[in-house]
Amino acid sequence: MFQFPRLEFDAAAHALREDLRGFLNAELASGGFSPSADCWVSAADPAFSRKMGAQGWLGMVWPREYGGHDCPVAHRFVVTEEMLAAGAPVAAHWIADRQTGTHILRYGTEEQKRTILPRIAAGECFTAIGMSEPQAGSDLAAIRTTAQRSDTGWVLSGRKIWSTGAHYSHYMIVLARTSPAEGRNRQVGLSQFLVDLSLPGIEISGIRDLGGTPHFNETLFDNVELPADALLGTEGNGWAQCMGELALERSGPERFLTSLIVLEQALPVIARHADERRAIEVGSILANLRVLRRMSLGVAEMLEQGESPATAAAVVKEMGNRLENDIVAQLRSMLAGISFAEWPDGLEALLREAVLHLPSNTLRGGTTEILRGIIAREMGMR
């Protein structure tokens, strides 16, 4: 169906991986953080993000003139993998580094690039996503949030939901309707706005997940006055811009490495009780992880080459969601019958955390059913 290019790791990338592991081991030893499952969503630590920024591990692929480091995509992929594998508290900067910064680099004004991107790269500026709404999640074109022109810019009204990290973010990229749909074509008339979340008229309230963590949010915009340059990109091009943003959101290793820290903690005790069934299940997990990693690397290279691999990214996310669910289910099965007294410290809490976060895996970044529809349409066109 797809031919994924091969992203190679050079000697500098391997050296970077060793540096990262040394940094993470030192942080763990000093109590700098405790590993978390689903760390890129639920484990936010602004101080840790600033440490990463100081090391040059944020905004890595951006131009130096905007605070970046002109690194290859493969180097950023190494950082992403190692942070996820360690369960590090990276949620604060994750969205800004993964997609918002790149989006601003492509569509933002020169002023926005020079003022916001260096702060993101320093781990001092965090962002949220303003796409979904209570009645427009999977059907994103049905959004009701509007932005109307005013004498000084725009007036934004509406509400967004599932705004991960909005309660500690400085900006949100908001999709809003700026002109009516053309009949049944609701994808026209949509625009994106870079919204300063400190503006009057914005109210952010937490939505607790099954684990009791309020990292999701509902964000209300009550006649928020935006400056003219808050428009991101071209008026009316919001749908196309969103689709490009979703390719960045859906294809990274966070889509299949969320539970890796749980697997790593569990493997020693599983090995002590190895049998044929457990060996097959572990082998299946590792084989699937290898496949998803290869595919994610391919999408990363496609993005580096300026392509827009929306469908390939949807494949990675859909398969990654299923693997995440399978990993947790298989771990529970393999650990069944093994006394808690043999479990390493922290494994029970990590497994519980992974189980409670599973339902959101198939929702954030696009529901499984919608992704399958996207993939099916692409296959039908070939």
SS (H, E, C) 185-246: ECCCCEEEEEEECCCCCEEEEEECCCCCCCCEEEEEEEEEEEEHHHEECCCCCHHHHHHHHH
Is there a contact between 230 and 210 (Cβ–Cβ < 8 Å)?
A: no
Q: Which pLDDT score is estimated for 137?
A: 66
Kindly list the distances between the CA atom of residue 53 and the CA atoms of 87, 118, 225, in Å, as whole numbers in the listed order: 18, 10, 32
Kindly list the distances between the CA atom of residue 125 and the CA atoms of 97, 121, 171, in Å, as whole numbers in the listed order: 10, 8, 8
Is there a contact between 97 and 118 (Cβ–Cβ < 8 Å)?
A: no
Could you tell me what percentage of the chain is helix, strand and coil, using 3-state DSSP and rounding each to the nearest 5?
55, 15, 30
Q: Which pLDDT score is estimated for 197?
A: 98
Q: Which of 217, 11, 208, 213 is CA-nearest to residue 126? A: 217
d(CA 48, CA 21): 15
Q: Which of 237, 144, 131 is CA-nearest to residue 188? A: 237
d(CA 40, CA 254): 7
- Spatial neighbors of 192 by CB under 8 A, at least 6 apart, are 107, 173, 174, 175, 176, 231, 232, 233, 238, 241, 242
Q: Which pLDDT score is estimated for 335?
A: 95
Q: Which pLDDT score is estimated for 109?
A: 95
d(CA 305, CA 303): 5
One digit per residue, pLDDT tens: the chain, 382 residues? 455 556 778 999 999 999 999 999 999 999 999 999 989 988 999 999 999 999 999 999 999 999 999 999 999 999 999 999 999 999 999 999 999 999 999 999 999 999 999 999 999 999 999 999 988 766 788 899 999 999 999 999 999 998 999 999 999 999 999 999 887 788 999 999 999 999 999 999 977 766 666 678 999 999 999 999 999 999 999 999 998 888 777 778 888 898 999 999 999 999 999 999 999 999 999 999 999 998 888 888 888 887 777 788 888 888 888 898 899 999 999 999 899 999 999 999 999 989 888 777 666 656 666 667 666 776 665 5
d(CA 235, CA 368): 30
User: For the chain, where do the domains classified as CATH 1.10.540.10 start and end?
Assistant: 11-125
Tokens for 79, please give them.
């950082």
pLDDT tens digits, one per residue of 282-320: 999 999 999 999 888 888 888 888 777 778 888 888 888
Tokens 């630590």 label which residue?
45
pLDDT tens digits, one per residue of 13-61: 999 999 999 999 999 999 999 999 989 988 999 999 999 999 999 999 9
Report the relative pairing of strands 171-177 and 127-130 from DSSP bridges: parallel
Q: What fold characterizes domain 11-125?
A: Butyryl-Coa Dehydrogenase, subunit A; domain 1 (1.10.540)
Tokens for 297, please give them.
């690397």
Q: Which pLDDT score is estimated for 361?
A: 66
Tokens for 264, please give them.
């790593």
Q: Which pLDDT score is estimated for 348?
A: 94
Considering the four listed CATH numbers 1.20.140.10, 3.30.70.1560, 1.10.260.30, 2.60.120.560, the one that applies to the domain covering 251-381 is 1.20.140.10
Q: Which pLDDT score is estimated for 290?
A: 92
The CATH code for residues 129-237 is 2.40.110.10
Q: Which pLDDT score is estimated for 310?
A: 76
pLDDT tens digits, one per residue of 318-329: 888 889 889 999
User: For the chain, where do the domains classified as CATH 1.20.140.10 start and end?
Assistant: 251-381
User: For the chain, where do the domains classified as CATH 2.40.110.10 start and end?
Assistant: 129-237
User: Three-state SS for 144?
Assistant: coil
Tokens for 351, please give them.
């497994």
